[in-house]
Structure 1
Amino acid sequence: MVDLKLVNAGSVYTEGAGLCGNDCNARCKSRHPGGDGSCNYAIKPPMCTCNYPCGPTPVPPIIRKCNGGQGVCSAACRDNCCNQKCAKAYKQGIGFCTDIGNNSLCNCQYVC
């Protein structure tokens, strides 16, 4: 289970946005216009971090408590494709491919 936390650091909020994938920045921008997402490889497993400007009433982070899947990732369907599948299949779902040995699976996190 990925722990998503919101931290206020002056005029910028930082929020965990799930496991790293090729779409950290896109995931951040879709949730927080003007945000900047990046992958933090210093921690294991690598996590996506979203930094975005503070507003007068910050929106609380979406807490995704459940995990699901959408099959196998392939060269034709990587993180962005997996993310789209999860968004269609689950309530506020986000997706990312996870490589395990020679296999790559589309994992989803969603609100349940």
Structure 2
Amino acid sequence: MAFWASPAGQLAILVIGWLVIRASKRVLKRHWPTGLSTWDLMAPLLILCSVILVPAGAGVILPWLVMGWMGVGILVTVIQAVHNQELLYSTFFKTFWRLTDLFWALGFIACFLLVIS
């Protein structure tokens, strides 16, 4: 159990998750949704791995990451409402989730570096 809570365990979880998602995508070729990428399914794993690193020392940065994530949601909402003069759930959620992927990938890297330093 201690290995999976360590930084190396978190990297192992992410690699295993990536491989499982890629294998599922390869097996379900025609039945895999066309707009769904592997990174879209990695965001929950990145969030989970960042939260698991809290006892190891990432608890300092995690509240800031959550507030930043909320800021991303507010920013996407305002930009789409002003630019498109409307807010459609499908375009908002796709844009928000793709930015979430990027944000939490960078957030996990920050948590990981904070723990190993």
Question: Greater relative contact order (Cα 8 A, min sep 6): structure 1 or 2?
Answer: 2
Bigger radius of gyration: 2
Which structure has the highest helix share of the two? 2
TM-score range, shorter chain: under 0.3
TM-score, length-scaled by structure 1:
0.25
TM-score (normalizing by structure 2): 0.24
